[in-house]
Structures are given as C-alpha cells and as structure tokens.
Structure 1
Amino acid sequence: MKEINPEEEYRKMSYTCSLRETCRKDVQTKLERRGADVKTIEDILTRLEKGGFIDENRYARAFAHDKYLFDKWGRLKIRNSLRLKDISQTDISDALQQIDEDIYHDNLKSIIDNKRRTTKADTSFALSQKLLRFATSRGYEPHLVFPLLELDELEE
C-alpha cells in the first residue's frame, strides 16, 4: 500500500467538494478506500468543514431537493437515505421542511398514474395493492397514497 500525502488528499477532496455537495461520510469513505489513517481522515474532514467545503445541512437540503424534484422520491426514502449517510436528525428535518407540498403531491399523483397505465391486475383491488406497494417503495406516506387509489368495492 502506498503512502498517502495528507496535503495532496486535502486538495483532491476540496476539489471534489467544490464540484458538488458532499457529506462527511462520503468523503470519509473515499479517504478510507485510499488508505488514509483515522487521524488523517479526521484532520482533513475538519479542514474541509472549516473551509466551507462540507456542510451537512446544505448537503441534506440539496439532496432532499434533488431527490424529490428529479427522482420523485418520497419523504420516507429521503429520510432513510440521509440517515444512512449519518446526517443529524435536525438537518434531515430542515431538509424535509424545504419540500414544496404542491410539487410533492403532483409527483405522487404522476408516479401513480404512470404506474397504473403499465400495471396489469385481475381486479381493481389487486391493482390498488400493486400501486400502493409501488408508491410506498418510492418513499411516499401511505396516508397520502390511499386517497389517490381508486378503490372500488372489495371484490370476492
């Protein structure tokens, strides 16, 4: 394993962080893969935070914005993804509050309508179940999904 130069790694990471929002855990993972020791990693992360290259709150807001707007993810999936990146609950809450409710509901309606057109089912109940599973797998809250499902009478 080659010896790493902390100053060189700092420059590489600061460049990477200046290109796109990056969280602490992503940078830590990159540095670990390159063979940096724990002290070097912590020093680099501290410098990046002091320099404004890493800001967990800014990252969480950008992540949530992009995921709900472009990928049409729901709040639950966004929250869980941010938790996996060790983002604080406060930053996650701030990010989720930035979500525009009208766009969020339009996204949900859009993904259900699109899925309805391509899904085959024997009964309307079976179709509703498939649509519910799909929407909740995308991270949408069940209480928002149910009103959008056209449930006919339960079939036997």
Structure 2
Amino acid sequence: MNTNSPKTHTVDEAKRKLEYYCSYQERCHYEVTEKLKSLNMIPQVIDAITVHLIENNFLNEERFAVSFARGKHNIKKWGKIRIVNELKYRQISKYNIERALKEIMPEEYTKSFHDLAESQWDSISERNIQKKKKKFCDYLLRKGYESNLIYEKLNDLAKD
C-alpha cells in the first residue's frame, strides 16, 4: 500500500471537519477554501461546503472582519493600515473592511497608539538620536499606524 498518497475525505467528513474548524475560531471564506483545498476537495465540493457553512452560520465574513479588527487592535496593538492590509490579503470585501474599522473607537485607537509609542520610545536604548528616531518610526510603521500620527508623536517625544 502506498502511504504517500494524500488522505481522502468524504464530503460529510470534510463538512464536519470544516464545521469544527469554523466553530472554534472565526474564519473567512479564503481560509475555508484553502483548508478544503488542503483536504483535496474538488471545486464543486468546496462551493457546496462553503454554502453549507454560510447557511448554518459557521461562516460569516462580516463577523470575521469585525472580530479580526477588534482582536488585532486590542491584543496585538495593530494600527488601521496593518489591519486593512491583512484583511485585503484574506480577500475581505471593502464593505466588510470599513464595517470592521468602525469597531475601533477613535479615542481607544488614539490612546493605544500613544501608550504604545511612549513605551516603545522609552524601550529603545540607542544613544544616537537619529538611529533611535528611525527605530521608533520603523516599529510603528510595521504595526500599521499612519505616518502623520507617528511623526507628530516623534516630534513630541524627541524634544523632551
């Protein structure tokens, strides 16, 4: 018997597997499609299972986008640019991206940005001020914050 051949799943097995996959964490259509491809499902079956997951509320792209944005901002302290880019990578619609960003309250966003920026500034031990400024900006840009916010904050912190 050839043990290198990929394991095949029946449609019902794949459906159950994906129901579980979607029930323990919010998923987007892209992740579900990739998972089904990894189970060697044919396109018609992928479509049928995706429809089943949507109809039974295991899969909801708006709910995914909102949860993703809220979680990445609150836990990982990501800025809006990074969140948008990550959602676009997951092929989330413009409508759902905009809906997700509305979940992040402006005061909350500003406060977490300032807290993160100040702690980052204090944690950089670089003596050369130019290098310190560059490290500071690079870090916050990677986190996905807007450059105008970063440079305003940099001017604020660098003059102390």
| Kept in 1: contact 2:81–2:144 (CA 8 A) | yes
Q: What is the count of residue pairs matched by the alignment?
A: 152
Stretches of structure 2 that go unaligned for 5 or more consecutive residues are 1-5
**What per-residue deviation string (whole Å, max 9, x for no partner) do you get for residues 25-44 of structure 1?**
11111111111111111110
* Residue identity opposite 1:27 in structure 2: V
Q: CA deviation at 1:50?
A: 1.3
Q: Is residue 85 of structure 1 aligned with residue 93 of structure 2? A: no
Corresponding residue SS for 1:72:
coil
Match of 1:5 among 7, 10, 15: 10
**What per-residue deviation string (whole Å, max 9, x for no partner) do you get for residues 24-65 of structure 1?**
111111111111111111110011111111110110000000
Q: Which runs of 4+ in 1 moved over 6 A?
A: none
**What per-residue deviation string (whole Å, max 9, x for no partner) do you get for residues 6-28 of structure 1?**
11111111122122211111111
What is the TM-score normalised by the length of structure 2?
Answer: 0.88
Match of 2:30 among 25, 31, 36: 25
More displaced stretch, 48-57 vs 11-20? 11-20
| Kept in 2: contact 1:75–1:96 (CA 8 A) | yes
CA distance in 2 between partners of 1:129 and 1:4 (Å) = 52
Report what 1:104 is aligned to.
109
Match of 1:40 among 27, 42, 45: 45
CA distance in 1 between partners of 2:152 and 2:71 (Å) = 26
Q: Is residue 54 of structure 1 aligned with residue 54 of structure 2? A: no
CA distance in 1 between partners of 2:55 and 2:25 (Å) = 17
* Residue identity opposite 1:124 in structure 2: I
Q: CA deviation at 1:101?
A: 1.4
CA distance in 2 between partners of 1:60 and 1:2 (Å) = 32
CA distance in 1 between partners of 2:139 and 2:62 (Å) = 29
Q: Is residue 128 of structure 1 aligned with residue 133 of structure 2? A: yes
RMSD of aligned residue pairs (Cα, Å): 1.4
CA distance in 2 between partners of 1:65 and 1:40 (Å) = 32
Q: CA deviation at 1:123?
A: 3.9
Q: Is residue 14 of structure 1 aligned with residue 19 of structure 2? A: yes
More displaced stretch, 17-26 vs 76-85? 17-26
* Residue identity opposite 1:56 in structure 2: E
| Kept in 1: contact 2:14–2:39 (CA 8 A) | no
